[in-house]
């Protein structure tokens, strides 16, 4: 029969696993919304574009859908990676029949501790990996990885979001130069040109920022391995996924459970009493 702590860990495991599944489903919905919304609004432009001066605004409307979905998608990806690192620890604890050295706080309390460490900028102390710099050479590795990259779908999604936004801004810019004349309409042309320039700058900022998040997710401090190490140290769990990875690469059969020392579990004050 499972103890109270073991049952709580199992409940935590199910909760976090379902949360990861919901987050991935949410990502897919935002991705589909961006594509379908952009296609629908371009269809409206095709039907109702009247050739007026201000028709260049219509191609920019899809950005109201694409850009927020773009940011939310990668924010969800970060949350998925964080939860994945936590659930790896729970999996090992359950597989090892609750044996091992660790402190168990429950998921919400563990998140509170993680956020405190992040706010105090102490999270770097908990992770020795994922410090690769965001530069041109490492950006190329994201798009042309030498090793097998199982996170390529993040880059593919980033590319789709970039393409949708780029098409909207480019079409709007073309219509602007086609319909406005700086000689005959200097004032309105200048204001409109500045507006389009601001939109382009914000798009470039979004492209770079989300690509930086993707880099952290794949090769940086937001990666699965990085968050595994962070949770490992926060929970003071004695274990490492490096041994598992090396054994799998050597094609060695792993034991079902690894016997460790007596567990150290931090319970509530009521349980201690």
Long-range CB contacts (< 8 A, 24+ apart) of 23-31? 23/76, 23/79, 23/80, 23/83, 24/80, 26/76, 27/73, 27/76, 27/77, 27/80, 27/157, 30/69, 30/72, 30/73, 30/76, 31/69, 31/73, 31/157, 31/160
Q: Is the model more confident about 69 or about 249?
A: 69
Q: Looking at residues 10-22, what average pLDDT do you find?
A: 92
The pLDDT value recorded for residue 124 is: 57
* Segment 40-64, tens digit of pLDDT: 877 776 666 555 556 778 888 889 9
pLDDT-derived band at 17, boundaries 50, 70, 90: very high
Share of the chain above pLDDT 90, in %: 28
Q: Looking at residues 89-103, what average pLDDT do you find?
A: 80
The pLDDT value recorded for residue 240 is: 41
Distance CA 226, CA 205 (A): 26
Q: Is the model more confident about 28 or about 102?
A: 28
The pLDDT value recorded for residue 254 is: 38
* Segment 200-226, tens digit of pLDDT: 999 999 999 999 999 888 888 888 888
Please, what's the largest Cα pairwise distance for the chain? 84
Output the pTM of the full model: 0.76
């Amino acid at each position: 029969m499972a103890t109270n702590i073991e049952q709580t860990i199992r409940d935590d495991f199910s909760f976090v696993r379902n949360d990861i599944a919901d987050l991935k489903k949410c990502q897919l919905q935002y991705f589909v919304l961006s594509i379908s919304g952009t296609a629908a609004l371009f269809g409206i432009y095709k039907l109702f574009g009247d050739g007026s001066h201000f028709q260049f605004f219509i191609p920019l409307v899809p950005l109201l859908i694409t850009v927020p979905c773009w940011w939310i998608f990668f924010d969800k990806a970060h949350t998925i990676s964080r939860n994945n690192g936590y659930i790896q620890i729970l999996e090992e604890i359950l597989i090892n029949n609750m044996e091992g050295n660790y402190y168990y706080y429950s998921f919400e309390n563990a998140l509170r501790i993680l956020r405190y460490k992040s706010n105090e900028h102490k999270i770097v102390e908990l992770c020795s990996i994922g410090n690769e710099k965001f530069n041109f050479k490492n950006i190329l590795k994201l798009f042309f990885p030498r090793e097998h990259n199982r996170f390529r779908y993040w880059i593919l999604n980033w590319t789709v979001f970039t393409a949708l936004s780029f098409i909207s801004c480019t079409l709007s810019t073309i219509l602007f130069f086609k319909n406005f004349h700086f000689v005959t309409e200097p004032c309105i042309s200048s204001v409109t040109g500045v507006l389009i320039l601001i939109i382009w700058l914000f798009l470039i900022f979004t492209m770079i920022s989300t690509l930086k998040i993707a880099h952290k997710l794949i090769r940086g401090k937001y990666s699965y391995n990085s968050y595994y190490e962070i949770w490992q140290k926060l929970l003071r769990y004695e274990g490492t996924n490096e041994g598992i990875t090396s054994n799998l690469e050597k094609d060695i059969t792993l034991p079902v459970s690894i016997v460790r020392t007596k567990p150290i579990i931090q319970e509530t004050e009521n349980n201690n009493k």
